[in-house]
Amino acid sequence: GMERTFAMIKPDGVRRGLTPEILARIQKKGYRVVGLKQMLIPREVAENHYGEHRERPFFGELVDFITGGPVVAIALEGENAITGWRAMMGATNPANAAPGTVRADFATTTGENVTHGSDSPESAARELALFFKDGELLA
Ligand code: CMP
């Protein structure tokens, strides 16, 4: 069915000028961009966003990285957009990402893997609400 998901171009992707290429892939796929903004993520928002990883050894590094430069926050709408965007990104570790995916094409490390995508309908709802106010998304 029709879904909305939260996508993000991480600081490494923005810094490297990959924003236009990634947005082009999203739009060529046929997803509708219903929200889009470049922003610095406040530390408390980053800690909330990655809350499920709070006990992991890499949590501090992850929060430092994601708050270390501007990101592009994107709300996408489309048929099966949650799993579809994750398929376009490829595996979290770029070494395992299928050819033609964003991470296979543009990333080399798990820590700096260019993009994020919600992993479930629950995560999508939570993350969209964390990054966008109601009035910021298209109807
Ligand atoms: P993402 O899918 O955005 O959500 C969790 C992030 O944690 C993941 O992308 C990776 O970038 C990061 N991550 C996962 N495992 C590791 C790791 N072993 N070292 C550093 N970062 C990691």
- Per-domain residue ranges of the chain: 2-134
Mutate to test the pocket of ligand 1, among 48, 59, 62, 131 (most ligand atoms within 8 A of CB): 62
Q: Which helix (H) or strand (E) holds 99?
A: none
pLDDT digits (tens, 9 = 90+) for 31-54: 999 999 999 999 999 999 999 999
Question: Residue 134 — pLDDT band, cuts 50, 70, 90?
Answer: confident
Task: Count Cβ neighbours within 10 Å for each residue of 102-126 and write b for 16 or more, e otherwise.
Answer: bbbbbbeeeeebbbbbbeeeebbeb
Q: CA quadruple 92, 95, 99, 102: dihedral positive or negative?
A: positive
Q: Compute, in angstroms, the gap from residue 53 CA to the centroid of ligand 1.
A: 9
Q: In the annotation, is 116 catalytic?
A: yes
| DSSP structure string for 108-126 | --SSS-SEEE-SSHHHHHH
Q: How far apart are CA 138 and CA 15, in angstroms?
A: 27
Q: What pLDDT is stored for residue 34 in this prediction?
A: 98
| ipTM of this complex | 0.92
CATH: 3.40.50.10300, 3.40.228.10, 3.30.70.141, 3.30.465.10. Which one for 2-134? 3.30.70.141
Q: How many CB atoms lie within 10 A of CB 66?
A: 21
Contact (CB, 8 A) for 128 and 116: no
Question: Residue 23 — pLDDT band, cuts 50, 70, 90?
Answer: very high
pLDDT digits (tens, 9 = 90+) for 64-114: 999 999 999 999 999 999 999 999 999 999 999 999 999 999 999 999 999
Residues having CB closer than 6 A to ligand 1 are 53, 58, 61-62, 92, 110-111, 113, 116
